Amino acid sequence: MVAYGTSYHALKDRAKLSDGETLLVLGASGGVGLAAVELGKLMGAKVIAAASSENKLQLCREYGADQTINYSKDDLKSEIKKLTDNKGVDVIYDPVGGDYSEAAFRGIAWEGRFLVVGFASGTIPKMPLNLPLLKTASIVGVFWGDFAMRNPKQNMENTKMLMKWYDEGRLRPHIHKTYELKNTARALEEIMNRKVRGKLVIEM
């Protein structure tokens, strides 16, 4: 619920993603990232998935990504321009932070929205404020936990929509691996080492 709840709130309520727009997802094979790829497609967007390996990008394609960028070897800004005929992307979903954020922002479209979701890289980026000015773009914060507490009715509506899509088989949470409770440390280590695609499950 956290991964899908966050990504749906971010794309629908914060970015107001609309049909036909282009969405770039960073960390696209991770927990919230893969949910954003799936939801972006359901909401009618063209989705560009960015991640650090071919194996991760392959999973993103299986979840509907139209195009992919391997940011461990290719330059984000120039790849975005190449894939969008220089127009840039309308919405950027960023749960990673670090150096990727500014590089991605430099590929945003006119009136684009940059969603600040998290800092899995461990570094909170700083952004030159001439960049949003030059594209009339917005930097938009996302805090699903607080949103759910402040707007429980709206969050319930979102949850109902997500459960409907899930019941219809249109959302398929990806389980990378299942661990027993006693092996939780190993599971966390796997996440820290950037080895996980989708979610890990800990069985109680």
Assess 33 for contact with ligand NAP (CB under 6 A): yes
The region that residue 94 occupies, defined by phi over 0 for left and psi between -120 and 50 for alpha, beta otherwise, is beta
State which of residues 58, 143, 179, 188 lies at the interface with ligand NAP (CB under 6 A).
143
CA angle centred on 39, ends 33 and 42, rounded to 5°:
150
- DSSP structural state of residue 172: -
State which of residues 11, 21, 27, 108 lies at the interface with ligand NAP (CB under 6 A).
27
d(CA 30, CA 18): 23
Q: Are 106 and 131 in contact (CB under 8 A)?
A: yes
Helices 54-62 and 31-42 meet at what angle, rounded to 10? Answer: 40
Assess 101 for contact with ligand NAP (CB under 6 A): no
Choose one: 38-46, 139-147, 153-161, 181-189; the region binding ligand NAP (CB under 6 A): 139-147
Assess 125 for contact with ligand NAP (CB under 6 A): no
d(CA 166, CA 68): 25
State which of residues 56, 106, 113, 135 lies at the interface with ligand NAP (CB under 6 A).
56
String of contacts with ligand NAP for each residue 58-97, x by CB under 6 A: -------------------------------------xx-
CA-wise closest residue to 35 among 154, 170, 191: 170
Compute the least distance from the CB of residue 13 to ligand NAP, in Å. Answer: 12
Q: Which residues bind ligand NAP (CB under 6 A)?
A: 2, 6, 27, 29-33, 51-52, 56, 95-96, 117-122, 142-145, 191, 194, 196
